[in-house]
Amino acid sequence: MSGREDGFTLIEMLVALAVFSLAALALLRLEGATVASTARLQDQAMAQIVARNLAVEALTDPVPPAFGRSGGREVNGSRGWNWTRTVARSPEPRIQQIRIEVQSQLGPERARLTVFRRAG
């Protein structure tokens, strides 16, 4: 038996610990980015839901919406949403083009939707 024992030296252990620490920090940053991305996508999905609800209201109303621009405020998902609806003629004279834009009051989340409706 030699005077040297098998095992890791202190330097090898410190290097392994440093590599592990870098990997753990990278995973923590990735988790933070994922959480932020998930929240943003959830808000974007809610904005799209609000836009679709407004489109359904415009399409199912017995009276076609008036030409021009209108707007308002909706509350959905415990949040306020500002919306703008622009009604214009499409290339086909009997069809209205309805463009809906929804903007969150708290952040940059936005949704846009264009639908077409018979002009009455």
Residue 83's pLDDT is: 95
pLDDT of residue 91: 87
Over the stretch 44-102, which tens digit does the pLDDT of each residue have?
Answer: 899 999 999 999 999 999 999 999 999 999 998 888 999 999 999 988 889 999 999 99
pTM of the model: 0.71
Letter for the amino acid at 69?
A: R
CB 101 within 8 A of CB 115: no
> Is residue 89 a contact partner of residue 110, using CB atoms and an 8 Å limit?
no
The token duo for 91 is 């290339």
Q: pLDDT tens across 11-46, in order?
A: 999 999 999 999 999 999 999 888 888 888 888 899
Which of 98, 5, 106, 109 has its CA nearest to residue 47? Answer: 109
Decide: 102 and 110 in contact? Cβ < 8 Å.
yes
